[in-house]
Amino acid sequence: MQLTSSVIAALSFAVSVAADSLFCQPTQNVAVPQSILGLDASVKLNWATTLCNQLNFPADGAETALTALADGIEAPEDGHLYGLELTVHDIQSAKNCIVNAQAIFNGKGCPSGGLLTLSGPLTQSAFIAKLN
């Protein structure tokens, strides 16, 4: 619930932010174990791709998906399973969702996730989340 509240607050903030901007979740304030933060970007992108392919992409609204427990990865530091919480707002297709996820996690992306704002009301966020 706390992560969902953070996402909603971030989406509200994004309305007043310039288009095509990426805001990383600050890792120093997040209790995500280093073994999960340090996962290869391909793992996070696989989670995102799976979630993007499950979404319905409502024409005017937001939708959220969470990695299934079976697909989570256990952190040796705390024994919890971690995955991804992905939220889209006015994103229209799985292809766009996947491209946006690549922008969040690839290259110098955000290790624990972030919020991507695009032209108009389009936003997408993907954050590492504790699943259990």
Rama region for 72: left / alpha / beta (φ>0; ψ in -120 to 50; rest)? beta
What pLDDT is recorded for position 107? 66
CATH, residue 123 = 3.30.430
Checking if the pLDDT of 45 tops 80, the result is yes
Q: Which of the residue ranges 16-20, 44-48, 107-111, 117-121 has the most confident prediction, judged by mean pLDDT?
A: 44-48
Quickly state the pLDDT bin for 26 (edges 50, 70, 90).
low
pLDDT for the residue 50 = 97
pLDDT score recorded for residue 15: 39
25 pLDDT tier (thresholds 50, 70, 90): low
Q: How many domains does the chain have?
A: 1
- Range(s) of the domain holding residue 114: 2-130
pLDDT of residue 47: 96
Structure tokens belonging to residue 9: 């607050």
pLDDT at 118: 77
CA 75/CA 99 separation, integer angstroms: 27
C-alpha to C-alpha distance for 97 and 92, rounded to whole angstroms: 8
Q: What is the mean pLDDT of the chain?
A: 80
